[in-house]
Amino acid sequence: MTTAAVVGLGKIGLPLAVQIAGAGVTTWGVDISDRVVDQVASGRPPFPGEPHLEERLAGAVGSGALTPTLDIAAAARASDVVVVVVPLVVDAAARPDFGALDAATAALAPSLQPGGLVVYETTLPVGTTRGRLLPGLTEASGRHADDDLFVAHSPERVSSGSVFADLRRYPKLVGGVDAASGERATAFYRQVLEFDERPDLPRPNGVWDLGSAEAAELAKLAETTYRDLNIGFANELAAYAEALGIDVAEVIAAANSQPYSHLHAPGLVGGHCIPVYPWFLLAGAPELRLPRTARAVNDATPDRVLDRLAAATGGLAGRRVAVLGLAYRGGVKELAFSGALALVDGLRARGAAPVVHDPLWTAEELGTLGFEPYELGTPCHAAVVQADHAAYRTLGPADLPGAVAIFDVRRCTPPDGWGTVRRHVLGAP
C-alpha cells in the first residue's frame, strides 16, 4: 500500500500520520480546521508537548511525504487506505454523539477507490463499525464489503505525551467486518509500524487480528473500563482505610506484592478515555452493573475530597481555595474531564472562592477559560493538588501563605516540612 489518508489531525491522528509518512507511504493529513492545516503545512505541530513530533513532522512535510489538506474527498480519492481518527464524545446524558464520525464517513465515502481500505481508530461502542459505519460507507459509495470495499476497526491505544513510544510498545489490535478486511488492515499496520520486542505477551508482538470488528471494539472498551473499575475500587478502599485510621497506600503496596493483584491508586479520574469509554460500553450493554457503579463512585470522589477539606479547615464558605493543576494529569496541557473542573464547581457550590494554578497555562489563558488565576506565593486559605505536575514536587508552605490545610489528591508533594499547614491525602487519616 503506497498511499494513505489520515482523517483528523488531533493529538492522536497527527502523530499517526507522521508515522505512516515516515514508513514510506505518501500520506494526506485531513482536518476541518484551517488553522490546523496551515500549521501542519508549515511543519509546526498545532499543539505542544508531544515528544519528537516537531522534528518528525517538519521532516515529513518538508520531504513531501505528508500533505495536509481540508479536502477529504480528494484525499480519499488518492489513497489506498483511509484511517479515521475523529472524536466521538458523549452528550450531557452520557450518550455517544456520532455527529463528527458520521460527517467524516459521509464526506469520504463517495470518493473511495475500488478495493480501498477504511480503518476506524476512534474508540467505538461495540457494533458501531458493522452496524453504523459500514452501512454509511456502502450507501454513500455504492461499494460492497468483501468485494470492492474493505472496512476494519483498529482502536488507538496511545496516550498524549508518549504517542510514538506507545505505537512501538503496544500491540496493534485489528478486527475487520470480514476476514479479507482484517487481513488487509493487518498488512497495512505491519507495513507502517515497528514494534519493540515484548516477550511478556501471550502471543507474538505486533499486529493482532482479533477476527471481527466487534472483538476489537470490545477489547479497547474492556482495557479502559477496567481502569475505571480498578480506580473506583481503590477509591472505596481509600474511604474505608480513612475510617479505620490506616494508610491505603501501604495496604495497596502490600496487596500488590502478590503477583495477581494489580490495584491502582485512588484519585480523581479525568481525560478523554477513562471517564468516557465506560459509557460507550454501557451504550451497547446497559445491563452491565460494575461499569455504572464505578462511574458513580469516581464521579463522587471530588465531593468527598472537598468534604474532608471542609472538615479540616472549619468550612470553605467565603474562603479563597487554590486548585493546583487544571490538567487532568501531570505534564499534559489538556483539561478533558479534569478533576479540577469538578473541584471548582464544588467549591463554588459551597460558597468558596476557587482560584486555579497550573504551570502549563498562563494567567491570561486561565482567565479566558473562566477561572480566577492563582499565583504561588500569594495568600489562600487552603489548597487542593489535583495534577501531579513536576513543579508541585517541591511545594511548601511558603508557596501557600495563610493556608491552614492542603489536600494532595496525587500524593506528589513532599510529605514533610509543612509546619502548621495540615497536609491530607486520599486514603489516610
> Would you name the residues annotated as active-site residues?
220, 273
What single DSSP character describes residue 32? S
CB-based contacts of 7, cutoff 8 Å, min separation 6:
13, 30, 31, 72, 75, 82, 83, 84, 85, 86, 104, 108
Best CA proximity match to 13, nearest among 71, 80, 59, 82: 82
Measured at the alpha carbon of residue 22, what is the angle toward residues 20 and 25, in degrees to the nearest 5?
55
CB atoms within 10 A of CB 258: 8
Euclidean distance between CA atoms 407 and 310, whole angstroms: 10
* CA triple 294-298-302, angle to 5 deg: 165
Helix/strand/coil for 177: coil
CA-CA distance, 30 to 357, in Å (whole number)?
Answer: 35
Distance CA 402, CA 418 (A): 12
Residue type, 286: P
Placement of cell 489518508 in the chain: 5
Q: How far apart are the first and last CA of the chain?
A: 59
Q: Are 429 and 245 in contact (CB under 8 A)?
A: yes
CA 395: distance to chain centroid?
A: 27
Euclidean distance between CA atoms 88 and 223, whole angstroms: 18
**DSSP 8-class letter at 112:** P
User: Crossing angle of helices 213-244/290-313, nearest 10°?
Assistant: 30
- 20: closest CA among 47, 56, 62, 52? 56
